[in-house]
Structure 1
Amino acid sequence: MTTPSLFCFGLGYTGVRLARTAITRGWRVAGTCRSAEKARALRMLGIRAIPFDGERASPEVKDALAWATHLLDAIPPGEDGDPVLRLHGNHLEALAGSLKWVGYLSTTGVYGDCGDDWIDETRTPSPATLENQRRLDAESAWLDLGARTATPAHIFRLPGIYEPEGRSAIDSLESGRARRIVKPGQVFNRIHVDDLVAVLLASLERPRAGRIYNVADDEPAPADKVLSYAAALIGVDPPPEPFAEAELSPFARHFYAKCKRLSNDRIKRDLEIQLRYPTYREGLRAIAEACTGTGTLPAPVEPQT
């Protein structure tokens, strides 16, 4: 029996968590990262990590792809499109018949501004920025590759991802980086990285060619409410004054001008997912409890809205 083998283009915090879980299940894992230093660290974890700059094809990547049974692309596209398809698309074409699953990590930004509508995967995308249009183009390119090679290709549209190791509202507060953003009526979803990995693993076990998934929690919420909840958990005050819109970067101004309420029914129906962290509350409490080492924390009392 062939040992399942995962290749991940882009071993960031999502890719590494997926890789580590796959290794515990007996998989072989390889993938790319940006630097030789990080590659050395990842090899200590049992991952065949290969430096890849997205500017030129890598012979070592080509060699590692030859034994891949499953592939994840977590690298964002640039001006020249998806670097994986541009530099290694011909190598992927040659794997027709051997790849059992391909996944592409995209963004819910492809939907554009959706106002108060709840949006599922049948919503026609309407990207409002060049970056999000590139994401949509990359989605199409991966689905096309899957169709041409009879490889089950899947698109995962992601909102903001948070995780326990430096990427959460709690970390922002503790580091002094937190900014209070108040935009009445503006909400968006999030996803804990562990729930994202669970979705990817479930899809690996249940391939559905051409399927698109919103990978999101159950409750879209305003940024200010989430920050205040995180502050109450760790016993600090949130930043007292709202961050002036003029102080936001162009990207942040664009983001906070949009509103999205994501439906996650498809991951629950198709993949039988039960979210470990269905809202930001459970996710942030778990992070706070891990940081303090004091066991279960009482839930902060939230104001009625």
Structure 2
Amino acid sequence: MPENRLFCFGLGYTGERLARTALAQGWRVAGTCRSSNKAALLRDAGIEAFIFDGQQPLDTNALAGTTHLLCSVPPDSEGEPVLRLHRDRLKELSPPPQWLGLLSTTGVYGDCQGAWIDETRTPNPLTEANQMRLEAEQAWQGLGAELGRATWIFRVAGIYGPEGRNVLDHLTSGGVRRLVKPGQFFNRVHVDDLVSAIWAALGHPGPGAVLNVCDDLPAPADAVLCYGAELLGIEPPPAEPWEPLALSPFARHFYAENRRLRNDRLKQVLGLTLAYPSYREGLGALAATRRVTDSPD
């Protein structure tokens, strides 16, 4: 058996955490980032780091020996950049990676008017960006079929976690608006549960699957914001009715899609137990960490 080597196209918020998990388990780990400073930090951590700007392919030697390949790089204006530049090189590797994975988005489902949906729902992306995400899924599945390799598509909900990626930090930094739109739901997942899901799939013997990666409790943004304020012992921002004309284009898009995602397949296929089954557990753990950090010596 070859030594396990994980290659992550995109060592960002999630990819770097996965890389460090794999390192701790004795895997060789490599991947890409966009800056020389980040590459130096990754190399110091024992990760083979390569600069990838989406315009020029990596040297073939960068991919040699890869047994597991994960892509978290989103499409650009020309489509899916990793396969556009590396598809033939991946097919020429001997042997090719035995496992392929793509971090996609739940945005491929489009607006479901608040209905509960699972992976059997036919995708209906509303934006060009999400249409390109769906096309990227199809491209990676196509490569997996050509190579006869397990291919996993992770449709990821909104990711939250430490390092400024949570409502507690947003509340303390100020400028957060509490918009109230009755009947609107959002789906989310703690970054640690996302990494656990990918790690479980990396070791799964099956042929791959399309998986919704989200927690058990879709919830309005207003509810999450108020719970965060309660944990911090502060008053939440004043409620504002949702008025689309008063919002930025990004905020209007954010509220234009409404769905509640089921994660039964995630649990059944991977045997995964979520550490943070809802925002309450996730924010509670983050708040506890803040208290420890802020406590006097």
Which residue does 1:162 correspond to in 2?
A: 160
Shifted more, 116-125 versus 262-271: the winner is 116-125
Distance 1:98 1:92 in 2: 6
TM-score, L = length of structure 2: 0.95
Q: Report the Cα offset of residue 241 of structure 1.
A: 3.9
Contact 1:146–1:210 (CA<8 Å) still a contact in 2?
no
Which residue does 2:145 correspond to in 1?
A: 147
Report runs of 4+ in structure 1 exceeding 6 Å deviation: none
> Gaps spanning 5+ residues in structure 1: where?
296-305
1:27 paired to 2:27: yes
TM-score, L = length of structure 1: 0.92
Contact 1:97–1:149 (CA<8 Å) still a contact in 2?
no
Question: SS state of the match for residue 143, structure 1?
Answer: helix
What are the Cα deviations for residues 26-69 of structure 1, in whole angstroms up to 9, with x where unaligned? Answer: 0010000010011011111111111111011122xx21211110
Shifted more, 88-97 versus 24-33: the winner is 88-97
Contact 2:180–2:239 (CA<8 Å) still a contact in 1?
no
- Residues matched between the structures, number: 293
Q: Report the Cα offset of residue 274 of structure 1.
A: 0.4
Which residue does 1:248 correspond to in 2?
A: 247
Question: SS state of the match for residue 199, structure 1?
Answer: helix
Question: SS state of the match for residue 178, structure 2?
Answer: coil
Distance 2:247 2:165 in 1: 19
Distance 2:106 2:40 in 1: 33
What are the Cα deviations for residues 238-281 of structure 1, in whole angstroms up to 9, with x where unaligned? Answer: 21142753443212212212211000000110100000000000
Question: SS state of the match for residue 123, structure 1?
Answer: coil
Contact 1:118–1:260 (CA<8 Å) still a contact in 2?
yes
Q: Report the Cα offset of residue 294 of structure 1.
A: 8.0
AA of the residue aligned to 1:125: P
Contact 1:153–1:208 (CA<8 Å) still a contact in 2?
no
Shifted more, 177-186 versus 194-203: the winner is 177-186
Please show how residues 65-214 of structure 1 align to structure 2 within 5 Å.
65-95=63-93, 97-214=95-212
Which residue does 2:275 correspond to in 1?
A: 276
Q: Report the Cα offset of residue 174 of structure 1.
A: 1.3
Which residue does 1:286 correspond to in 2?
A: 285
Distance 1:98 1:283 in 2: 38
Which residue does 1:235 correspond to in 2?
A: 233
AA of the residue aligned to 1:288: A
The 1:226–1:93 alpha-carbon spacing in structure 2 relative to 1, beyond 3 Å, is same
Distance 2:247 2:50 in 1: 36
> Gaps spanning 5+ residues in structure 2: where?
none
Contact 2:156–2:213 (CA<8 Å) still a contact in 1?
yes
Question: SS state of the match for residue 293, structure 1?
Answer: helix
Distance 2:266 2:219 in 1: 20
Which residue does 1:299 correspond to in 2?
A: none
Distance 1:102 1:80 in 2: 22
Shifted more, 199-208 versus 284-293: the winner is 199-208
Which residue does 1:8 correspond to in 2?
A: 8
What are the Cα deviations for residues 114-166 of structure 1, in whole angstroms up to 9, with x where unaligned? Answer: 11321111110000000000000000000000001111111000110001111
Question: SS state of the match for residue 283, structure 1?
Answer: helix
What are the Cα deviations for residues 181-212 of structure 1, in whole angstroms up to 9, with x where unaligned? Answer: 21110002100000000100111111433510
What are the Cα deviations for residues 53-107 of structure 1, in whole angstroms up to 9, with x where unaligned? Answer: 1011122xx2121111001000000121111001111111113643121110000
Question: SS state of the match for residue 211, structure 2?
Answer: strand
Q: Report the Cα offset of residue 237 of structure 1.
A: 1.7
Shifted more, 168-177 versus 19-28: the winner is 168-177
Identity %: 57
Distance 2:2 2:251 in 1: 46
Contact 2:96–2:147 (CA<8 Å) still a contact in 1?
no
